[in-house]
Amino acid sequence: MTDEISNWVERLAAVDSCAVSDALDTLGLPSAVTGIAAQSVRRRIAGRVVTVKPVDAKQDGAPVRHLCTATIEAAGPGDILVIEQRTGIDAAAWGGVLSNAAMAKGVAGVIVEGPARDIDEAAELGFLAYSRNSTARTARGRIYELDFNIEITVGDATLKPGDLAMADRSGIVLVPIDRAEDVLKTAEMIVAKERLMTEAVQRGDPVSQVMGADYEKMPERGGEE
């Protein structure tokens, strides 16, 4: 990971998903992915993305490779694995052995567009697993790992390997690497402005004024500055 990317990841971890989502809105990029939530421990996660794409195990020519195994071996410390499990097959794209293997590699966490399992085990390990839902149904014999570090779709957003991701209790945000500096500058500006607004209401200023017409245009102003 380059110094520049490390700096972006550090800055991304210092803001919240709401500010990043607002920044993405301001810049005309897909904003937060809703419906994917922390299933194990509840703390913020930020890092560079390694993408994963599964395939129906019954599909002709499907590689007989358990989902995410090659991906974990290719991932680096601090990376986030993001899996698009939209095969239509009810099977978990993540489980306990994978959580252990990922922790051993220093992987920061996993985000699953689809179900995960062995959630209690991930929680006991302290491993961050975000997913759209959960199931006890195994991927074994149902879905394989088609490929990794390829373009995938999460929510309505297209995600490329090497992009950035951040997740907290409010939602998931995906940041294109080629727009990272713009997104982060805008998010940091929004955080600073909202801090001033919070101070204003805490000292007794009417909230109707603090969150008046100017507030509704705040993302637009942030994008112009």
Amino acid (one-letter) located at 75: A
Q: What is 69-90 written as a DSSP string? A: HHHHHH--TT-EEEEE--SS--
Rounded to an integer, what distance in angstroms lies between the CA atom of residue 13 and that of residue 215? Answer: 25
Write the pLDDT tens digit of every residue in 103-148: 999 999 999 999 999 999 999 999 999 999 999 999 999 999 999 9
Query: Is pTM, for the whole model, over 0.85?
Result: yes
Task: Output the pLDDT for position 17.
Answer: 97
Task: Output the pLDDT for position 217.
Answer: 67
Task: Output the pLDDT for position 224.
Answer: 40
pLDDT at 46 exceeding the cut of 90: yes
Give the closest residue to 167 by CA, choosing from 7, 16, 1: 16
pLDDT at 218 exceeding the cut of 70: no
Give the chain's mean pLDDT.
93
